[in-house]
Structure 1
Amino acid sequence: MNAIHPASEASPDLADLLQKVRHIGKTIALPAATSVDREARFPQEAIDALRQERLLSLYIPPAYGGEGYSFTDLVAIAQVLGQYCAATAMIWAMHQIQVACLVHHGQSSPFFQNYLHEIAERQLLLASITSEVGVGGDIRNSIAAVEHDGAICRLTKKATTVSYGAYADGYLVTARRSPEAAAGDQVFVLLRRQDTLMEQTSNWNTFGMRGTCSPGFNVSATLSPEQILDTPFAEIAPQTMVPFSHLLWSACWQGIATDAMARARKFMQGKARQLRTTSLPGDNHLVQASSDLQLMRSTNEAVVLEYTAFLSNPQYLAESASNLGFVIRLNNVKVLASQLVVQVVQQALYICGMAGYSEESPFSVARHLRDAYSAALMISNDRLMTTNAALLLVHKEEA
């Protein structure tokens, strides 16, 4: 585990940064969100704005030209972005997950040191390629393998989905260490866009999260051995990829729920003024939505703080992140957040009625609800609950 920049406290200028994020959200991401959703198109204007403000290199340490913000800062930004355009928030969050894998596990390599510099200088957008035809959604097993031929390596992989794959500048790809390696003996490989052939194999015409543009691709590339991270993926996943994924995703979903709640409250306030009353039909839905949102926030915050404490002591991260109690709590956060975001948006729909159901109303939560339903599918809740059920049989909670 490489040294990580201090991550125990929010950066002093976070408030200023969040103001920039809100400005991008209000003036660029939100106005484009309807067309992004309707056309299932990449939110190019919002990502360009994030690039311009150097928001793609926030987690990269200053030694490599980045801004050195902490994990808790990333969580706060994801929550804000999620209030304006969930697709933009999710793309930004998934990029940060890949950056974190390089920051945490690549700093001992001159190649990855230089690549971190390049990400910061050029504001490169990174994507992951962990899905694969034939493994049933299990990212901890691979069919594709790195083929070594002296100073050249080759990799071919059939991916079921690659989020914003056509728009990324680089990819972190899971694969077996060699053709002879077991399915679980995986490495994490960086592929540069210019060295990678991406053959699209499916379309992305989905119920929600349409702007993430995540069709399947057949991927093939040549690379040098230095583009393979030394740390096995079996260590990268529990220490970095899974915690960052569950917690940043949950922050995005919290953003969706926050905006839906705000629309419902504004609708109720307008009704109350119109009728000159403080008691309205639907009050109970507003209270339930507020309660669910509070539960989401507190649950997310507790595990974010726990993981942040692990990051502040990187020499113990491997042991801490593999603690069964933490794994259970981390999985619970993802499952609970993915359920609560749907519940909050549904309550907002009940409050706003047809105004919430309409695609053209200022109180519409139609896009919010469609996006919210994707949450349970991103690392399937059923898979996580099956894992937790097995862990609970052997883990003894401390009193």
Structure 2
Amino acid sequence: MKYSALIHSDIQKKWIEKFDSIKDQFKEKAEYNDVHSRFPYENIEWLVKEGYTLLTLPKAYGGEGATVEDMVILQTYLGAIDGATALSIGWHLSVVGQLYEQQMWEQDMLDQFAKEIKEGALVNRAISEADTGSPTRGGRPATYAVEQDGEIVVDGVKTFTSMSKGLTHFVVSAYDQALEKVGYYLITKDMPGVEIADNWNMIGMRATESHDLVLNNVRIPKENFVEIRGEGGKKPNGWILHIPSVYLGIAQAARDYAIDFAKSYSPNSIDGTIGEITTVQQNIGKMESLLLSARHFLWSTAAMYNHTSEPQQLWNETSASKVLVMNQGLEVIDLAMRIVGAKSLEMERPLQRYYRDMRAGIHNPPMEDMAYTNIAKSVQGLF
């Protein structure tokens, strides 16, 4: 990946050097983890040990204070090395970045949680449910919370809990029957009643182990009721750009593999390599153009988010980034597979994994129809 002209901050340079030192080990494990639907424990352990989980924690709390732009660039790079590792750790980076940028919790909770992050805590939001569909559609969760004997009892099942077995903390959405509102509750893995269902069996992003989180009347302190949905108004969340970043990286990896193949594969039916054939060159040109377009759109959106005093003006860019990257990324992988030909379907080659993982990204938020609807409402002044 030749990003050198676009890499400019010390944080970016430092972590790309670190990733370069470990990328071969990460790539070696990727095939096994995918085939066996096994979480990349060693990769995540390395990232925690090296301090990557502190990336988006502000400096005032003892973190690195990375910007959305830093995160997007680094997650793109990590996604090209191992998509499942990047997507898993990206949820943690995104949650932490948004929490502290928007000061979403009471100060005491933010201070305490920062200490736990520095001690190795890993967090993700658990908000999807089988009966509600995508949380971006605003359905009321069946998971409920009720106050009993000075504590809060949370009961329900959450789906698509990425990094489930590696998480120490879950920010769980539940319907508060007394308030008649949806709240968010901080739950730790060691609380009685917390279980992981071990039922993740998908064709894509298999190694994220996004099992169901089962909450069996989990009792938590009242102070762990940390948020109310919609309180304080809806704001653009630049940290959610970690999602298209990972898939942009996967598309980059597919491109890199196809280029290397085209430059080296020389069947005896032709002189030279297939990279000299006009049709292959046309596909390479299309692939590269799509990738350039997606990268510049996503990275410029992240840069604008950092430098604007009114992030609400970036609703359309943040919504469009994921849709554009996913659609163009899928086309990039399709072209890469056409270049490699039938060999791209061999299980020993990574292209088929890139394709399956990329398909999974369609179902990450925001959903395409919701993104287009929000963009349409924005340009018509209907919000």
TM-score (norm 2): 0.87
CA drift at 1:180: 3.2
Q: Which runs of 5+ in 1 are unaligned?
A: 1-8
Whether the 8 Å CA contact 2:69–2:306 is kept in 1: the answer is yes
1:369 is paired with a residue whose SS is helix
CA drift at 1:131: 0.7
Residues 69 and 391 (structure 1), Cα distance of their counterparts in 2 relative to 1, 3 Å cut: closer
1:229 is paired with a residue whose SS is strand
Match of 1:374 in 2: 360
Counterparts of residues 7-18 of structure 1 (less than 5 Å): 11-18=9-16
Structure 2 residue aligned with 1:347, among 310, 313, 335? 335
Amino acid at match of 1:264: A
CA distance in 1, matches of 2:192, 2:260: 48
Structure 2 residue aligned with 1:268, among 262, 269, 274? 262
Q: Which runs of 5+ in 2 are unaligned?
A: 1-6
Residues 17 and 136 (structure 1), Cα distance of their counterparts in 2 relative to 1, 3 Å cut: closer
Residues 137 and 170 (structure 1), Cα distance of their counterparts in 2 relative to 1, 3 Å cut: same
Is it true that 1:212 corresponds to 2:208 in the alignment? yes
Amino acid at match of 1:208: G
Counterparts of residues 1-399 of structure 1 (less than 5 Å): 11-27=9-25, 29-104=26-101, 105-106=103-104, 108-120=106-118, 122-139=119-136, 140-143=138-141, 144-149=143-148, 151-176=150-175, 178-182=176-180, 185-195=181-191, 197-201=193-197, 203-220=199-216, 221-229=218-226, 232-234=228-230, 238-239=234-235, 242-245=237-240, 247-271=241-265, 275-276=271-272, 279-280=276-277, 281-310=279-308, 313=309, 320-321=311-312, 323=313, 326-361=314-349, 364-379=350-365, 380-394=367-381
Whether the 8 Å CA contact 2:11–2:66 is kept in 1: the answer is no
CA distance in 2, matches of 1:54, 1:285: 40
CA drift at 1:166: 2.5
Overall identity of the aligned pairs, in %: 21
CA distance in 2, matches of 1:26, 1:234: 43
Amino acid at match of 2:328: L
Whether the 8 Å CA contact 1:86–1:252 is kept in 2: the answer is yes
What's the CA shift string for 1:338-368, capped at 9, x where partnerless?
111111011000011133221224xx41110
TM-score (norm 1): 0.84
**RMSD of aligned C-alpha atoms?**
2.6
Residues 13 and 309 (structure 1), Cα distance of their counterparts in 2 relative to 1, 3 Å cut: closer
Whether the 8 Å CA contact 2:330–2:358 is kept in 1: the answer is yes
CA distance in 2, matches of 1:75, 1:279: 34
Amino acid at match of 1:243: G
Count of residues paired in the alignment: 368
2:226 is paired with a residue whose SS is coil
CA distance in 2, matches of 1:308, 1:237: 20
CA drift at 1:218: 2.3
Residues 66 and 218 (structure 1), Cα distance of their counterparts in 2 relative to 1, 3 Å cut: same
Amino acid at match of 2:86: A
